[in-house]
Chains A and B, each alone.
Chain A
Amino acid sequence: MEVLGHYNYWVFAFLLTIGLYAVIAKPNLVKKLLGLSIFQAAVFLLYISMAKVEGGTAPIIQGGAGEQVYSNPLPHVLILTAIVVGISTVALGLAIVVRIREEYGTIEEDEIQAQDRDR
């Protein structure tokens, strides 16, 4: 039960590993960036999971609703920032890939390295 109860964290670890594998093993630069994106998404899930409070609702104070249990809003805010950071990183990465394509005519890592050696 302990293991199943933490399934969010298993998904986190699984996504993290998939992302890291793609970053390391794929020679295609766009696939590397996709791996990086999955890697970061895993961390978003970690933060969102820890914010969950059992039986908690959205943290909005309503007049007359009485005592309520709320989810922790802080990790949501943090991860909103981290998502923006992730988008900027992938966007910049893709821009660099476009420039690499213009200069080298390819986005495969091994072919780029072969050209760099000849320079």
Chain B
Amino acid sequence: MTLAQQLPALAVAVPLITAPLAAAAMVFHRRHVAWLVAATASIASLAIAIALAAGVDPVHGVSYEVGSWPAPYGIELRVTSFSALLLMIISGASALALLAGKASLDAEVTMQRRPYFYAAWLLAVGGMSGIVVSGDAFNIFVFMEVSSLATYILIAGGRDPRALTAVFKYLIMGTLGATFYLIGVGLIYMMTGTLNFADMEARIVDVANLKPILAAVGFITIGLALKAGVFPLHVWLPNAYAWSPHVVTTFIAACSTKVSLYVLLRFDFLVFHGSLAGHDLQFSGFLMPLAVLAILVASGVAIAEGHVKRLLAYSSVAQIGYIVLGASLLTANGLTAAIVHFFNHALAKGGMFLAVACIALRARSLRLDDLAGIGRLMPWTTAALVVAALSLIGIPGTAGFISKWYLVVAALDEGATGIALVAVVLLSSLMAVAYVWRIVEAAYFRPPAGPDLAVRDAPAPMLAVLWAVALANIWFGLRPGLPLELSRAAAAALMRQIQ
């Protein structure tokens, strides 16, 4: 076997193998070793993800038999366009956050915790990568727990004691979600005797008594929606994002909920839509109202929120709503909008949280009142924040516009419901303008509070990565290229089971 054929396994193995190396860095008594290991491994993962994304077969994907045991008996890794896109998001977010965030993490994570912190970071990357490449339902559960446990450690790794209560809540709800998923997988295994996705779909058709399968659909959908922060199961999300170390927020806001959404879409579209009559309409009838509520309610709460990170966290809940809304339209365009929004939202929100991490180095607190005049003290950081925010709103010429455009086009195919959905999207975009304006107003139109007027912008590495992300928001808005191609292919693959 050549190296290229081993890439699906390496995407998981590289972060998992390097994690203990980062922890072992404690014996060196040097400050940078653990960070260096984590950053190098993340960049290697990103290279693997890009190689996979460039070479993936849009129809069948790439299949890999772990230990050469053939599917459905062995564990199958399957890299499709969808999973390649998510691999790029996960490893890209990790690499950029680590490259940019050293100064911020040094300030927030104490010295003796750092080796373990970076080990947990790599475990989170490895776990999430495992979820998106695995073709085995139980294997996904194990990777889900690996990444979740590591994420809890990351969130509680900083100094803010409020992170502890936030992470306890997240741990309880995350475990409930994962256990619900486990029950669902168990019920399916009971009726079909398989854990392999492709095999499962073929065998559910032959099941005589569908009741356990229908219960499994419920357990799996609710469990994954809980982990993905789908409204109204998002209550763990705002505090977990708000009180975690700022760079950790950048990383998890870009990818962690999206990984669960990926499993949800994969299960519903590839396994259930083809094998259960009428499931597509139930899926859409259940999730579309929740998506609309998520978009409107969470945007409304964001407008009223006084803390920048909580404001952006509620905005994330609304953006998850966009993804679910696109998927619940059950058309190729709708799914393309949903899947390309995985990428575009990661760019926009990751950029905004990174800018917030820069601001946190200088500002007294992240309450909007304490950010008065920060645009004059940190001109470059604030300008990048605004560029990413424009992308979040969906201004033409930015990445966010691409996903909203596809969403509106997809909605217009739906007749009267579609018009109402377009109205929802437009209204929520205006609400996004309103909550972003509150940040802009505080940053540019209020005089700085203290007497200290010297310009003290963020450290150069942070600024460089921040601007790279901000410019990427514009680049992918003008030339959507690879992410859009992958999303189209992924949407076409998911749609094959419908009709």
Question: Do A and B truly interact?
Answer: yes
Report which A residues bind B (CB closer than 8 A): 20, 23, 29, 32, 36, 39-40, 43, 46-47, 50, 75, 78, 81-82, 85, 88-89, 92-93, 96-97, 99-100, 103-104, 112-113, 116, 119
Among the listed B138, B165, B171, B186, which residue makes an inter-chain contact with A92, where contact means beta carbons less than 8 Å apart? B171
Query: Would you call B183 an interface residue if the criterion is a C-beta within 8 Å of the partner chain's C-beta atoms?
Result: yes
Most B Cβ at <10 Å: residue of A29, A78, A88, A104 = A78
Alpha-carbon distance between A82 and B186 when the two chains are bound, in angstroms: 12
Q: Show the binding face of B for A, using Cβ within 8 Å.
A: 138, 141-142, 145, 149, 152-153, 156, 161-162, 164-165, 167-168, 171-172, 175-176, 179, 182-183, 186, 189-190
* Given contacts A92-B171, A99-B164, A100-B165, A85 and B152 within 8 Å (CB-CB): no
B103 to chain A, nearest CB (A): 25
CB pair B145 A99 closer than 8 Å: no
Residue pair B186, A46 in contact (C-beta under 8 Å): yes
Instruction: Looking at the assembled complex, report how far the CB atom of B138 sits from the nearest CB atom of chain A, in whole angstroms.
Output: 5
Closest chain A CB from B177 CB (angstroms):
12
A-B contact pairs, 6 of them (CB 8 A): A39-B176, A50-B190, A82-B141, A82-B182, A96-B167, A97-B168
Given A78-B138, A104-B161, A116-B162, the answer on whether A99 and B156 have CB atoms closer than 8 Å is yes
B182 and A43 within 8 A (CB): yes
**A103 with B161: CB separation less than 8 A:** yes
In contact, A23 and B172 (Cβ under 8 angstroms): yes
Residues in A whose Cβ lies below 8 Å from that of B153 = 92
Kindly state the separation between the CA atoms of A50 and B195 in the bound complex, as whole angstroms. Answer: 14
From B142, B161, B167, B168, name the one whose CB has the most chain A CB atoms within 10 angstroms: B168
Chain B residues lying within 8 Å of A88, measured Cβ to Cβ, are: 145, 149
A81 engages B142 (CB within 8 Å): yes
**B164 and A100 form a contact (CB under 8 A):** yes
Cβ 8 A contact of A112, one of B156, B165, B172, B182: B165
From B168, which residue of chain A is reached at the shortest CB distance?
A96
Q: How far is the CA of A112 from the CA of B165 in the complex (A)?
A: 8
Is B156 a contact partner of A85 (Cβ separation < 8 A)?
Answer: no
B189 contacts A85, C-beta separation under 8 Å: no
Once bound together, how far apart are the Cα atoms of A100 and B243, in whole Å? 14
Distance of B75 from chain A, by nearest CB (Å): 12
Q: Is the CB of B145 within 8 A of A116?
A: no
